[in-house]
Amino acid sequence: MDISTLIVLLFILVLASYAGFELITKVPPTLHTPLMSASNAISGISIVGAILASNQLGFSALSKWIALVSLVLATINVVGGYAVTHRMLAMFKKKK
């Protein structure tokens, strides 16, 4: 990888991080939980991609470890998202 490709990739990373931060801070609190539920679908896609990447032959050991870490982090995100969604929905149930 040459230096110009690295600079472009770093620029995209910084731009995406800034845009994501700005979007998250502008969302009202009442919409955070529904958006987290929607992000579970995206994390599910990440889990499938990490599983596929970790099973590919010919990849280096480093890429397989990165795939494993992404698999763990995406799983934590999905489980946390469902836990928060479950907690939010429990708030709307009638108390017995």
Residue-wise pLDDT for 24-81, tens only, equals 788 777 776 667 666 777 777 878 877 777 777 667 777 778 778 888 888 888 888 7
Cα distances (angstroms) measured from residue 69 to each of 30, 46, 74, 84, 92: 31, 11, 9, 23, 35
Q: Is 85 inside a domain boundary?
A: yes
User: How many structural domains compose the chain?
Assistant: 1
Residue 96, domain member (yes or no): no
Give residue for tokens 């889990």: 47
**Contact (CB, 8 A) for 53 and 67:** yes
84 in any annotated domain: yes
The domain in which residue 27 lies consists of 3-91
Among 96, 79, 9, residue whose Cα is nearest residue 39: 79
pLDDT at 77: 81
Q: Is residue 68 a part of any domain in this protein?
A: yes
